[in-house]
Amino acid sequence: MGYARCPHLSQELDSQLDALAGHGIPRDKIFSEEISTRVRVRPQFEQALKTARGIKAQAPALPGHLHRVRDEAARPRRC
């Protein structure tokens, strides 16, 4: 499973989706949303966690991973 979030319309959500797909995560297993970091309730993130917890409860022996990739271009650079 994966989660991608883009806080601004000017940033590219597709690059995060591509990065998650590059890790072998199918697009239908990626939760994504365009929502500000100021918003505390993130519906797709909550749904991803709920889904992951449900899978883990049904199959506790399986390893569980929720991947999130940050867009490197969106990070401020330090001098």
pLDDT score for 9: 64
φ/ψ of residue 62, rounded to 5: -80, 145
pLDDT of 68 above 90? no
First to last CA, the chain: 35
Backbone dihedral region for residue 24 (phi beyond 0: left; psi -120 to 50: alpha; all else: beta): left
Q: How far apart are CA 23 and CA 57, in angstroms?
A: 24
Q: Give the pLDDT band of residue 10 (cuts 50, 70, 90).
A: low
Q: What is the mean pLDDT of residues 13-19?
A: 88
Look over the chain and give the mean of its residue pLDDT values, rounded to a whole number: 79
pLDDT score for 76: 41
35-62 tens-digit pLDDT: 888 888 999 999 999 998 888 888 877 7
**Paired tokens of 75:** 């990070």
Pairing, β 2-6 against β 67-68: parallel
